[in-house]
Amino acid sequence: MKLYYSPGVCSLAPHIALREAGLPFTLEKVDADTKLTASGADYRAVNPNGYVPALEIEPGLVLTEGPAIMQYIADRAPAAKLVPPAGSMQRYRLQSWLNFITSEIHKGFSPLFKQGMPAEAKTLFKEQLAQRFDYVEQHLARHDWLLDGGFSVADAYLFVTTGWSGFVGIDLKKWPAIMAFRERVQARPAVRDALRAEGLLK
């Protein structure tokens, strides 16, 4: 399998999942501006939308969208227990968290990275994100992980997205349970290996 990624963006979550799962894979870096891969290919031939991640499962078979990719990876390595069993209520809870993170947190950050976005608009988006963080904080104040069964791909996704806070002027110290959660995740060997591979950790 080959994961197309850009350092530190949402593709870091399936990168972490691959390492947690212990599956063999290769990485292909994508330039977010030029849409060229490290080998010089046009990434839009892989994913016409032009954004990462994309997982090439085999030649000609590509899966896109992070939440789907992470569930596929986890299902390929059931012993790693990165997702609950298909059809279980816990699996639906996982999907609920993945949908919440992708729509309410991930996309909540997107306007804050856009050049030319008025300051007043950014303030409104930050306030909305703060409300979402309040919700997550309440949960993590009572639980180490998003699911009762332990670390899952949803935790990897939350770790990645909350990590963008410092780049947009959001101080996570307001949410101590999220801060403690991030420390737990970053202490995992597979997470540290992924961060090093993307040049995000020495």
- For 29-85, the pLDDT digits (tens) are 999 999 999 999 999 999 999 999 999 999 999 999 999 999 999 999 999 999 999
Long-range contacts of 24-31 (CB under 8 A, 24+ apart): 25/1, 26/1, 26/2, 27/2, 27/3, 27/197, 28/2, 28/3, 28/4, 29/4, 29/5, 30/4, 30/5, 30/6, 31/6
- Which CATH number does the domain housing residue 116 bear? 1.20.1050.10
Q: Write out the residue range of the structural domain in which residue 24 sits.
A: 2-80+190-197
Q: Give tens-digit pLDDT for 170-197.
A: 999 999 999 999 999 999 999 999 999 9
pLDDT band at 202 (very low <50, low <70, confident <90, very high): confident
Report how many domains make up the chain: 2
Looking at every residue in the chain, the average pLDDT score rounds to 97
Check which CATH number belongs to the domain holding 67 and give it: 3.40.30.10
CA distance 131 to 94: 21
* pTM assigned to the model: 0.97
**65 and 94 co-located in one domain:** no
